[in-house]
Chain A
Amino acid sequence: MVSTVQNTDIEQKDAEHAVVVAMTFKAVFGSDDGDDVYGAGVAFTLLQALQTVNERLLLENPSEMLLFDIILITTDRQQQQQSDRIMSSTRHHGLQIHRFCFSCEDDFTDSLLQNKVHLFLSTDKNETVQAASRGVLSALVDHQTTLCSSQQLKVVFCGDSIVQPDADINAASRQAAEVFSAQLGEMRRRFGALDSPLSIVVMTSSGGRDSCCSALRTLRTRGLSVDEAHCLAGAPRGIILSVLRPHFQLSDGLSGLQD
C-alpha cells in the first residue's frame, strides 16, 4: 500500500510544470543507526545543489514554475513503517523535500510512475535497473556524490550511450531521457554561460571525437546546450571523474548503470 504525504513545512511545487526527482531513503539518510534522527546520506550535497538551482531560478523569476520537485521514496517495508521518523528527520535537517512516498519493494516502481517521476536516484543498482526497465530515467549516487559541490549541480551525460544506444533500451526509457534533457536544457537557458548553478557535461568514454560531436549534436536537437565536454577515447574514466565531480551520470540506456 503506497501513501504519498506532502511536507507541510515547505512550499509545494506545481507538479505539472516541475521536474520531479525521486530519491530513495538510503540515498538521503544512509543507514539506520537506531538514533531518533537519521543521519545524512550520500545525496545530501545533491539535495543542496538541487535546492541551489531552485533558489537561483526563483531569483531570476519569482513566478518560475520549472523547478525541481523532490520526493523521498522508501523502497522496502521496514523503511515504509518509519514514516514518522522520516518526516521528523527531514524537518530536523531542514531538507527541501516536497513529498514523501511510503512504498515497499513490491510497488515502488508503481509509485514512480504514479508520481510522474522524471528522474529516480538511488544508491542501489538493482533499484535503478528496475526503475529503468519501467521507463523511468534513473541514476546511481554513491560516496563520490558527497564530494560534490552544493553550489552547482553537475550532470554528466554519457556520450557513448547517446551515439550507440543499447539494443535492449525500451521506447519509454528513450523518451524519458529525451524529456529530461529538454527540461534540463530549458532550465539551463535561464542562466548565462558563466556563473550557472547548473552545469551540463558530456563524457565520451570509448568513442573518439566523432562520437563526441554526434553526442553534442544529438543533445542540441533535444534542446540541451552542453557546458563541458570530455572525450576520453579509451583513457581511464575514474581519474577524470574525480576532477569533474559530477553529482550523477545519465545514459540513454542501461549501459551507463553497469559501470
Chain B
Amino acid sequence: MVKMSLDPVQVMSGQVKELKVAPSSNGDSRGSWEEKEEFSQDHLGLTTKPKPPKPENAVTIAVSSRVLFRTETEQKVFEQKGVEEYLRYQIEHENEPFAPGPAFPFVKALEAVNTRLRELYPQSEELFDIVLVTYNHAHVGIRLINTINHHNLFIERFCMTGGASPIGYLKAWHTNLYLSADADKVREALAEGIAAATMFMPEKLTEVSESQLRVAFDGDAVLFSDESERIFKAHGLDKFFEHERENEDTLLDHGPLKGFLEALGKLQKKFYAKGQRLDCPIRTFLVTARSAASSGIRALKTLRAWGLEIDEALFLAGAPKGPMLEKIRPHIYFDDQMFHVEGAAEMGTIAAHVPYGIAQKHQKVSKKNTTVAK
C-alpha cells in the first residue's frame, strides 16, 4: 500500500503532480487536475469573487466617482440647476452606466496586477485595494454600483459621504493614494499626509497597456521635497545647479508621493522573488527636468539611499515632458506643476496634479482656461 503524504497547501494550489485518481473511482475519465480544482473550490467554499484584503495589509487606492467615470453632464446639471435637480437627474438615469474617466485605465491596470499577485501568492493580502470615495449622496449609489457592474470592475468597497468631508474616512481606510477631481479635497488630504493628486480628463486618450501598470513621477515636489525648486524660483538656474552640486551627497527630503512609490516597489519585489523581473506587471518611471550629468545625480543617490528602485529615469534637462510621456504611455503621471500636467494632457497622457510646494504660488498661466469643476 503506497502511503501518500499530501501537503494540504499543495493540493489546494494544484501543485501535487503525483496524485492520480483512478478513473473508475468516480465514473468518468476526467484528468486528475480538474478533479483537484473542483475539490479545492468546494473545500474552501470559494465563490467566484476573491475576498477583499484587510485595508492595513493592502495598498489602498481611493478614487472619487468623478475621476473613475465621466460625469461632466451631471456636473453641469449640478452647477446650473442645483443639488436637488442634480440628484433627481441621477436617479432618473440610474440604469445608464457612466463612461470611463481618467482613472479608469489605472484602476483596470491595478486589477491586472492583483490577478498576477493572486496567482503567485494566493494567501497574501498584499494587493491593491480600490475604494470608491465620493462625497455624493447615496442617491447616486445605485447608479455608481450599476456602472461598476457594467464595466466589470472589482470594487467592493465604497464610502459615499453625502456631502461630508471624506478626509476622516481616507485615514480610516489606510489610504495610500487618493485621486479626486476636487483640488481642495486633494490639498486637504496632502495636508493630512496622504498622497493625493487631482486628475483631469485628457482631450484624447492614448492607448495604455492592459497587462502592465505603468506609473510615472516627476521628481521635485512629488517624490522629493520642493527644496530645490525653492532655490530655483528664488535665485535662478545657476544658483540651483550650484546648490545641487554642493549638496550632491546630501539626501533630498521626501515628497508626498514617496510613500506610494515605496508601496509599488514592495509589490514589484514580490514578482522578482518569483523570478519575474523581466515580466513584472508594474513599471515605474521618473520624468524630471533635472539633467543626468549634474543635478540628476542627487536625485538618484537619494532614491538609492531610500532603497527605492525606479525602473526608468528620464532626465530631460529642461526639455518638454509631453513627447517623452507620449512614448512612455503611463496609466498616470504625477507632477506638481499644472503647466506640465496640461502639456501632458494635450498629448493624450493621463496626468495628475500634486498641489504641493512652492510651485503652487507661481503657477504658469496656460493658454487654455481649464476650469476645474467642483
Contacts and interface: CB of A to CB of B under 8 A. Distances in A.
B138 interface: yes
Contact of A233 (B157, B161, B169): B157
A226 B148 contact: no
Contacts of A202: 138
Contacts of B87: 193
A235 B52 contact: yes
A231 B163 contact: no
B239 interface: no
A237 to B, nearest CB: 10
A229 B49 contact: no
B127 to A, nearest CB: 13
B172 interface: yes
A50 interface: no
Band of interface residues on B: 20 to 34
Nearest to B163: A194
Q: Which of B84, B155, B156, B168 has the most CB of A within 10 A?
A: B156
Given A192-B83, A229-B160, A243 B172 contact: yes
Interface stretch (B101-109, B139-147, B250-258): B139-147
B269 to A, nearest CB: 25
Contacts of A240: 159, 169, 172-173
A228 interface: yes
B139 to A, nearest CB: 6
Interface string B173-197: 1000000000000000000000000
A226 B138 contact: yes
Contacts of B145: 209-210, 212-213
Interface string A25-60: 000000000000000000000000000000000000
Contact of B52 (A192, A228, A234): A234
Contacts of B157: 208, 231-233, 235
A2 to B, nearest CB: 41
Band of interface residues on A: 20 to 34
B162 A192 contact: no
B163 A216 contact: no
A216 B161 CA distance: 14
B83 A231 contact: no
Interface string A146-164: 0000000000000000000
A34 B239 CA distance: 75
Interface string A220-239: 00000111111111111001
Name the prevailing secondary structure of the A interface residues: mixed
A233 B55 CA distance: 11
A197 to B, nearest CB: 14
B51 A234 contact: yes
Q: Which of B49, B84, B148, B163 has the most CB of A within 10 A?
A: B163
Q: Which of B52, B137, B138, B149 has the most CB of A within 10 A?
A: B138
B212 to A, nearest CB: 27
Q: Which of A193, A235, A239 has the most CB of B within 10 A?
A: A235
Nearest to B86: A193
Contacts of B51: 234
Contacts of B49: 208
B137 A235 contact: no
A210 B141 CA distance: 11
A230 B83 contact: no
Nearest to A240: B172
A242 B172 contact: yes
Contacts of A225: 138-139
A192 B87 CA distance: 11
Contacts of B172: 239-240, 242-243
Contacts of A239: 172
A193 B84 contact: yes
Contact of B137 (A193, A210, A230, A232): A193
A213 B83 contact: no
B158 interface: yes
Contact of A229 (B52, B55, B84, B141): B141
Contact of B160 (A192, A208, A230, A234): A230
A134 interface: no
Contacts of B148: 209
8 contacts: A193-B137, A209-B158, A216-B138, A216-B141, A230-B158, A233-B157, A234-B51, A235-B52
Given A227-B138, A229-B159, 15 more contacts: A193-B163, A208-B52, A209-B145, A209-B158, A216-B141, A226-B141, A227-B162, A229-B160, A231-B156, A234-B51, A235-B52, A235-B54, A236-B54, A243-B169, A243-B171
Interface of B: 49, 51-52, 54-55, 83-84, 87, 137-139, 141-142, 145-146, 148-149, 155-164, 168-169, 171-173
User: Can you list the 4 inter-chain pairs with the closest CB atoms, starting with the nearest?
Assistant: A208-B156, A227-B162, A229-B138, A233-B156
